[in-house]
Amino acid sequence: MSVTRTTSKAGCPAPTQGRKWRIIAALALALTGLLNPRAAQAQSLPLIRDTEIEKLLGDYAKPIFRVAGLGTGRVTVRIVRNEAFNAFVLDGNNVFVHTGTLLQAKTPNEVIGVIAHEAGHIAGGHMASLRARIAKDQTRALLTQIIGIGAMVAGGVAGGDGGRDALSGGQAILQGGNEIILRGLLTERRSQESAADQAGLQYLNATKQSGQGMLETFERFQQQEYVSDQYKDPFVRSHPVATDRLARLRDLVVASPYAATLDPAALQLRHDMMRAKLSGFLERPGTVFNRYPVSDTSLPGRYARAIATFFQGGTGALDATLTQINGMISENPQNPYLYELRAEMLMRSGKMAEAQPSLRQALKLAPDSSLIRVQLATTLQQGDNPAGLTESVDLLRKSLIDDQNGRAFRLLATAYYKQGKGPEADAMTAQAYFLEGNLKQAQLFAKRAQPKLRSGSPEGIKNDDIINYRPQT
């Protein structure tokens, strides 16, 4: 499991005063970011990459995206490391889900309901609509401020009672204009939330799944509607839960022929394994051991404790961890993620060569995993083994076909440098910087690589694209 932090390019409106305009500023920041697979341009998001969790969320989302008309490869579910319960979309290509959501959701259906709701926003074009609305309202707000400030300046020049009246009038223009803009924006937002509910339930019905998880999520947060914004969960601030909206949602869920449908046991186990893994990697070992005591002999319980044992440290921590993982593997020899976990613990302990057999077995069981290829390539680049370096290049190039991964580009650059292929290495470094949102460094390396890259080659074409790229304003 790895965490990467993206760099924000998202625009935000001009500075404003007061609680209401802080709401608009927050909405603008959340809704004007234009995300794409190159980078999550949203408030420097720490994204988690993990083969097992991404595969599970993909299995949750694909049927929903298909019936929503979004295809099966256009939209990606991305994992944000944040303990708060939240999920959001900023464009038509990504659904962002907090780790807090995955840890708190007890059933697959709860997460699937959240994804269905966000899919409703994407299918409805809500982000584009809100961006257009915000752009229009920013212009309107600017005009209002100019008029109001002009009236206040005139009052200052006039002086006396007339001046005071003009000053008051200018302030009223500013406050009244802002109030109208805010009400209009929030009205549109509420309308879109209701539409996303109904669309999400249609997708759940079309895939023969219950809407109970979605309903339980919104019921859980309804009480926060009356809590100060300072203490509200982000999910509530971005998904206002009006009483009438919740009532409509409840009626629709109850009326569904699939209201009582439960998640399959195998899917529930995968969900429980995901929660255990996140707990083991993200929570303190003491918290993990309290959440999954020794008396919990389930596979998820043992999974979480094995990870926590490693991070607890101390003499013999690695051996104790490996003993626990090996026990799980002996009972579940077809689970690729147990081999991957064993390899990761060895890699974190500096035992790269020892991790290779586990990664090869994991890749054999999960042959489409780009991230496992990257891990194996990492171990092969240790030392001065030309054959290992060549194999790592093959693995990384194959991984990048399906997954544009900054780490893979950097490893590929390292391999090319070691092989004496400087221009190709610079081109890969440019690709990595571009994915991470650092356009200045990306173009610097791309220009350095350009003269020596073969014209018309895939590397040359991508390199030219970076050099000629101009960010949207």
**First CA to last CA distance, the chain:** 35
Residue 362 lies in a domain: no
- Label residue 241 by pLDDT band (50, 70, 90): low
> What element of type H or E holds 25?
helix 19-32
Residue 80 lies in a domain: yes
- For helices 439-449 and 458-468, what crossing angle results, to 10°? 130
Reduced to 3 states (helix: H, G, I; strand: E, B; else coil), residue 3 is strand
Residue 237 lies in a domain: yes
Residue 179 lies in a domain: yes
Residue 238 above 60 pLDDT? no
Q: Which residue has the higher pLDDT, 384 or 432?
A: 432
Residues in CB range of 446: below 8 A, 6 or more apart: 426, 427, 430, 463, 464, 466, 467
Q: Are 309 and 333 in contact (CB under 8 A)?
A: no
> Residue 40 burial (CB < 10 Å; 0-12/13-18/19+)?
buried
Residue 354 lies in a domain: no
Residue 343 lies in a domain: no
Residue 240 lies in a domain: yes
Query: What percent of the chain is modeled with pLDDT above 90?
Result: 59
What was the pLDDT predicted at 161?
54
- For helices 160-206 and 108-123, what crossing angle results, to 10°? 120
CA gap 388, 418 in Å, rounded? 12
Range of the domain at 80: 1-282
**pLDDT 10s digits, 387-409:** 999 999 999 999 999 898 999 99
Strand duo 94-98 + 76-80: pairing: parallel
Over the chain, what is the mean pLDDT?
81
**pLDDT 10s digits, 323-349:** 999 999 999 999 999 999 999 999 999
Residue 457 lies in a domain: no
Number of domains within the chain = 1
